[in-house]
Amino acid sequence: MQWVPMNDLGRALTAERDQLLAAFTGTLDSGWLVQGPEHAAFEDALAQYVGADQAVGVASGTDALELALRASMPAGRRTVLTAANCGGYTTTAARRAGFEVRYADIDEATLLLDPAAAAKALDDTVGVVVVTHLYGRAADVSAFRELAHPLGAVVLEDCAQALGARLDAGRVGSLGDIAAFSFYPTKNLGALGDGGAVATSLPDIAARVRTLRQYGWHGKYTIGEDGGRNSRLDELQAAILRGRLPALDAGNARRRDIIGAYAARASAGVRVLPAEGPSHAGHLAVVRTPRRDALRDHLAAQGIRTDVHYPIPDHRQPAFRGEYADLHLPVTEAAADQILSVPVFPELTDSEVERVCDALGSF
């Protein structure tokens, strides 16, 4: 049986071969391998695309979250407030920075952090509220700014899944105080390996991220800031990302169209999370049903690969056993048992999309 894959990176690599080779030869010819002209040009292009004053390249999305948290955590505070259904990346980054993580429940309809739940969990010990634009859907960041700012907290957007999504107020990454991006190969804008970035229009915070990503140096061999590390975006990856950026919007539109086709054809018992319009980047096609495992078996029988994003909420991860035993997040926990991701990526063929539609419609 020919499976419909969750992703097939080889298709884009083949289609973009000449463009990718040009990025390779351009980098070779330049002689720059880190923090050269391509890196600077990509930072500028990303900042301009997002609508932020500055973008800072780093080595991964998790590093972007960690450095953004370290750079923006207000003095005297150590707590991060976020949702528990976003794959554990913010949790990993915050714990690595030595911060405590507090969780609030998600909204039943969007599966994004619920402003009302966040309001209840927020107090003046929280320094950063991390809002994840999960699955590609732009969250209403202004609601969190209105909650956080009066208490002296900042809002960090996790844009790893949503680059390109926009609200009336602007693109994700320009809506909060600081934002983190991942260029992991399966992301809507993917590198040929790991990569990430931080964007912000707050100059002091951008400067801190630039310092922290390179050993905490204020100048060469002068450690001016404690807590620094080595987290750089390679010159070659920057060249590849800059080459791919102009095609991002078209790829996102194709993703939304595919998810729209699933929504139109799925049977009544399967709810396809909507991905309509520019406020969604179509990163993941997520369906919800109380009979998740049966649907998964049904799709597998039709040769369709699936995945769950994400099966274990952060507060139930085995590594933190006991720490959050008393915390119950009913909407988060119920969703984790009912969600299923089906294939979506721009190079999916029309006949593959049709097979997924048929399978979702015959359940």
Ligand X SMILES: Cc1ncc(COP(=O)(O)O)c(C=O)c1O
Residues forming the site for ligand X (CB under 6 A): 60-62, 86-87, 89, 132, 158, 160-161, 182, 184, 194, 196
Q: Quick one: DSSP state of residue 230? A: B
CB of 173 to ligand X, least distance (A): 13
Tokens 């950026």 label which residue?
245
- Please provide the DSSP assignment of 169-211 as one string: TEETTSSSSEEEEE--TTSSS--SS--EEEEES-HHHHHHHHH
Three-class DSSP category at 343: coil
Question: Based on CB atoms, which residue is closest to ligand X, 86 or 266?
Answer: 86
Query: At 54, phi and psi to the nearest 5?
Result: -140, 145
Question: Based on CB atoms, which residue is closest to ligand X, 132 or 306?
Answer: 132
Element containing residue 143 per DSSP (H, E): helix 141-148
What's the Rg (C-alpha) of the chain? 20
Neighbours of 337 (CB within 10 A): 12
Question: Based on CB atoms, which residue is closest to ligand X, 131 or 359?
Answer: 131
Question: Based on CB atoms, which residue is closest to ligand X, 87 or 176?
Answer: 87
- Please provide the DSSP assignment of 101-119 as one string: EEE--B-TTT-SBPHHHHH
CB of 192 to ligand X, least distance (A): 13
Question: Based on CB atoms, which residue is closest to ligand X, 87 or 251?
Answer: 87
Question: Based on CB atoms, which residue is closest to ligand X, 266 or 336?
Answer: 336
Region class of 18: left (phi > 0), else alpha (psi between -120 and 50), else beta: alpha
- Per-position b or e across 312-330, b if 16+ CB within 10 A of its CB: ebbbbbeeeeeebeeeebe
CB of 194 to ligand X, least distance (A): 6
Question: Based on CB atoms, which residue is closest to ligand X, 85 or 357?
Answer: 85
Nearest residue (beta carbon) to ligand X: 61
Question: Based on CB atoms, which residue is closest to ligand X, 113 or 353?
Answer: 113
CB of 118 to ligand X, least distance (A): 17
CB of 53 to ligand X, least distance (A): 22
CB of 42 to ligand X, least distance (A): 16
CB of 92 to ligand X, least distance (A): 8
The vertex-230 CA angle with 228 and 235, nearest 5°, equals 135
CB of 197 to ligand X, least distance (A): 10
CB of 32 to ligand X, least distance (A): 23
Long-range contacts at 302-305 (CB < 8 A, ≥ 24 apart): 302/355, 302/358, 302/359, 303/1, 303/2, 303/3, 303/4, 303/355, 304/3, 304/4, 304/342, 304/343, 304/355, 304/356, 304/359, 305/3, 305/4, 305/5, 305/6, 305/343
Question: Based on CB atoms, which residue is closest to ligand X, 261 or 329?
Answer: 329
Question: How far does Cα 87 stand from its chain's mean position?
Answer: 10
At a CB cut-off of 8 Å and minimum separation 6, what does 73 contact?
97, 99, 127, 128, 154
Question: Based on CB atoms, which residue is closest to ligand X, 161 or 237?
Answer: 161
CB of 233 to ligand X, least distance (A): 11
